């Protein structure tokens, strides 16, 4: 379908098909046109205006997609063409609450959008998308509310028993690991100032292959803290093939973490070789 400038909800109401599989919503700042019903489509790209009072409109869009194409939707992409300079009105963390699970959804991308999920929001998202294989969340969200530069050490790390309602932490990775077992490609902005105790991050065998990640660029982490972050990630995703860092989004942190995780993998491989029956018999 050719993209048309139209209110997002109006577009969805005018799509007559009951078997929509893929949708791309591009948020733009104006309305210019309208759209007639289209009964025979499986993929669509929609451009809509931004609501004047924040981005709460996203929830209604997701709810509409969920109610109409729950059994057929496989890919949802939400793009915001112009990221607002004023980001005081966060998209609610319960954007995916009260939804029936998208059992067939494999790809969800929310890009260049003022969507600021927290650990609780990730929990709700994971419940709504249990079979997802590709999840891309905005990298920008991690810097919009970055704290002042601080020196992080083990002595200043606080432990949190519950889910954070204000930011995404390592707990968000744990939730995705447990609730989205098929996840292969993850893009996420993560707060790494506070780490949970290792007793809360037991060893998993999740097969996530690609992690594209950002963190607060103002954080200056000490070596022991870098090692702890790497240990948490490796405990959850021991089969990682690629860690992608991003300039301006804490690349220096993840550039230091990447070789540590690679070293962990090599140590495991060496240990497995030592324990193999053929090695033992020699």
What is the pLDDT confidence band of residue 231, given thresholds at 50, 70 and 90?
Answer: very high
Question: Tokens in use for 236?
Answer: 């959850």
What is the pLDDT confidence band of residue 147, given thresholds at 50, 70 and 90?
Answer: very low
| Whether the predicted pLDDT of 257 surpasses 70 | yes
Q: Are 173 and 117 in contact (CB under 8 A)?
A: no
Radius of gyration for the alpha carbons in the chain, expressed in angstroms and rounded: 21
pLDDT tens-place string over residues 91-140: 445 678 778 999 999 999 988 766 667 888 899 999 999 999 999 998 86
pLDDT at 82: 52
pLDDT at 160: 35
Q: What is the DSSP letter of 170?
A: H
pLDDT at 95: 73
Q: What is the DSSP letter of 55?
A: S
Q: What is the DSSP letter of 6?
A: -
Q: At which residue do the structure tokens 């550039």 appear? A: 255
DSSP 94-130: TTTTT----TT--EEEEESS-B---HHHHHHHHHH-T
| Whether the predicted pLDDT of 52 surpasses 50 | no
| Whether the predicted pLDDT of 212 surpasses 50 | yes
| Whether the predicted pLDDT of 146 surpasses 90 | no
Burial class, 59, CB count within 10 angstroms (exposed 0-12 / middle 13-18 / buried 19+) = middle
Is pLDDT larger for residue 271 or for residue 90?
A: 271
Q: Are 203 and 235 in contact (CB under 8 A)?
A: yes
Beta strand extents in the chain (DSSP E only): 22-28, 43-49, 75-80, 107-111, 134-136, 151-152, 185-189, 210-214, 220-221, 242-244
pLDDT at 59: 79
Is pLDDT larger for residue 227 or for residue 202?
A: 227
| Whether the predicted pLDDT of 29 surpasses 70 | no
pLDDT tens-place string over residues 163-172: 655 568 888 9
Is pLDDT larger for residue 151 or for residue 266?
A: 266
């Amino acid at each position: 379908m050719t993209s048309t400038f139209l209110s997002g909800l109006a577009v969805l109401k005018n799509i007559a098909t009951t078997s929509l599989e893929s949708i791309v919503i591009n948020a733009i700042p104006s309305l210019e046109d309208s759209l007639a019903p289209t009964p025979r489509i499986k993929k669509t790209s929609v451009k809509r205006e931004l609501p004047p009072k924040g981005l709460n409109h996203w929830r209604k869009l997701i709810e509409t997609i969920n109610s109409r194409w729950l059994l057929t939707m496989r890919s949802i992409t939400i793009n915001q063409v112009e990221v607002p300079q004023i980001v005081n009105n966060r998209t609610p963390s319960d954007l995916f609450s009260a939804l029936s699970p998208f059992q067939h959804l494999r790809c969800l991308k929310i890009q260049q959008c003022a969507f600021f999920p927290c650990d609780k929001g990730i929990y709700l998202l994971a419940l709504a998308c249990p079979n997802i294989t590709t999840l891309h969340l905005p990298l920008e969200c991690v810097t919009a509310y970055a704290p002042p530069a601080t020196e992080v050490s083990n002595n200043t790390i606080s432990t949190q028993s519950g889910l954070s309602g204000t930011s995404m932490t390592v707990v968000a990775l744990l939730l995705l690991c447990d609730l989205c077992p098929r996840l292969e490609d993850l893009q996420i902005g993560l707060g790494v100032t506070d780490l949970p105790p290792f007793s809360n991050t037991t060893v998993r065998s999740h097969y996530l292959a690609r992690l594209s990640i950002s963190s607060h660029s103002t954080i200056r982490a000490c070596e022991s803290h870098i090692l702890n972050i790497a240990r948490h990630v490796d405990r959850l995703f021991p089969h990682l093939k690629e860690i992608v860092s991003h300039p301006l989004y804490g690349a220096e942190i993840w550039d230091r973490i990447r070789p540590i995780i690679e070293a962990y993998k090599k140590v495991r491989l060496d240990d497995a070789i030592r324990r193999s029956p053929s090695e033992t018999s020699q």
